[in-house]
Amino acid sequence: MNMVRSNAEEMVKKVMARFVDKEVIPVAGELDASGVFPREHFDKLARMGVLGIRYPVKAGGSGGTTTQFCIAMQELARGLMSLAAMTAMQCLMGTNGLYLYGTKQMHEDYLKPALRGEKIGAFQLTEPEAGGDLGSVRTLARKVSDGWVINGMKTWSTSGPYGDFHTVLCQTDPEKGLKGLMFFFIPSDTPGFAASKKFETLGTRNSALSEIYFNDCHVPDAFMLGELGRGLDVLLTILAEIRIMTASLALGLHRAAMDASIRYAKERIAFGKPIGKYQLIQSKIADMAVNLEAGSLMVEKVTRLIDRKVSCLNEATMAKYFTTESACSACDQATRIFGAYAYSMEYEVQRYYRDNRFLLYGGGTHEVLQTTIARQYLR
């Protein structure tokens, strides 16, 4: 497999790195402390074409690839995980079902404005008793003569309070279990739709998470995304991308923690010399570097397989598991290198330490991922 980046891929990395270095990192601490939606930066990313990077030009996108998308997300996560998470939601889960299954009118009214940053899309999968266990989804879509009526609730919805439209997993027939699952498109101005206030969270404080409620929400048949009873198949079409996107966010955060650790290890003097001269500090940096390199190779392999339309869900699952665990370890080790200064909100490593927990849940918990990976070898 060709692992050498193309000119287009190098350009994406260069442009995104410049944006992050000049416009994100200098204000990342202030943004995190404010907890507000970084609208100015989100709009700039839209003007740069990042929100539509995965979609063809004819659909209003930038005509890029999954590899380019993941390169962009790595750089954004290096700057501010909150901004990267909301951008990734817009680029992938929040708009993908609309792109694949929406009508031309839905594309004009919602997709193209979303790729321009004028509307925000959200994705509703998780329920209080249905995270990895999709068979326990209780949000019910009931067929009526002129469409569907939806009742239920979702939780941990990224961009939920800000979303202008939502892709929602519903159960159409509880007796059918997984075969009754179906995704529906629901604009937030639909009567009966409501969102809770933003959750107060440990990390990713600019990324709005909330509960979403559906009380007799009526949608037309055209808002059913895909064939009836094929909701699980719809999810599986992008599950590898969801997991490799999360892995890409992990790589960016890992890089940020490692870079900060290296800078500090060169500057901090203890017992007459920089702490980077001590073997125990060197071992931490070495582990960070090795894991980052291994994770980068795993992610690049998967994105290139996806671009070639090769099935690679197991590889994506392994990449998500490895990179997010490695990122959490790197952020933890960074706080140890910084010592007591990591306990101060003035140093960025405390933000990395808080934000890394976000990575453990999206795309499947690590307990679920480990079970999934093992099953591939124990069949």
What would the pLDDT profile of 304-348 be if each residue is shown by its tens digit?
999 999 999 999 999 999 999 999 999 999 999 999 999 999 999
Q: Taking 80 as the threshold, does the pLDDT of residue 185 lie above it?
A: yes
Does residue 362 carry a pLDDT above 90?
no
What tokens appear for 106 in the block? 């839905």
* Predicted local confidence at residue 152, as pLDDT: 97
Nearest CA to 232 out of 192, 181, 156, 186 is that of 181
Q: How does residue 132 score in pLDDT terms, banded at 50, 70 and 90? A: confident
pLDDT > 90 in the chain, percent: 91
Average pLDDT over residues 261-290: 98
Residue 321 burial (C-beta neighbours within 10 Å; 0-12, 13-18, 19+): buried
Q: In this predicted structure, what is the pLDDT of residue 131?
A: 79
Quick one: average pLDDT of 186-208?
95
The domains found in the chain, sorted by start residue, are 7-115 (1.10.540.10), 121-229 (2.40.110.10), 236-378 (1.20.140.10)
What average pLDDT does this structure show over 115-123? 97
* Mean pLDDT, rounded, of the chain: 95
Residue that is written with structure tokens 């992990």 in the block: 250
Work out the pLDDT band at 269, boundaries 50, 70, 90.
very high
The half-sphere exposure of 302 on its side-chain side, counting CA atoms within 13 A, is 29
Give the integer Cα–Cα distance in Å for 217 and 215. 5
Confirm if 54 and 69 have CB atoms less than 8 A apart.
yes
Lowest mean pLDDT among 71-80, 112-121, 360-369: 360-369
Average pLDDT of 363-367?
89
In this prediction the pTM is 0.96
Joined together, the tokens standing for residue 249 give: 């966010």
pLDDT at 1: 57
Mean pLDDT for the stretch of residues 173-179: 93
Q: What is the pLDDT of residue 2?
A: 61
Give residue 297's pLDDT: 97
Q: Kindly tell me the sign of the dihedral angle through the C-alpha atoms of 104, 109, 111, 115.
A: positive
Q: Please give the Cα distance from 332 to 351 (Å, whole number).
A: 11
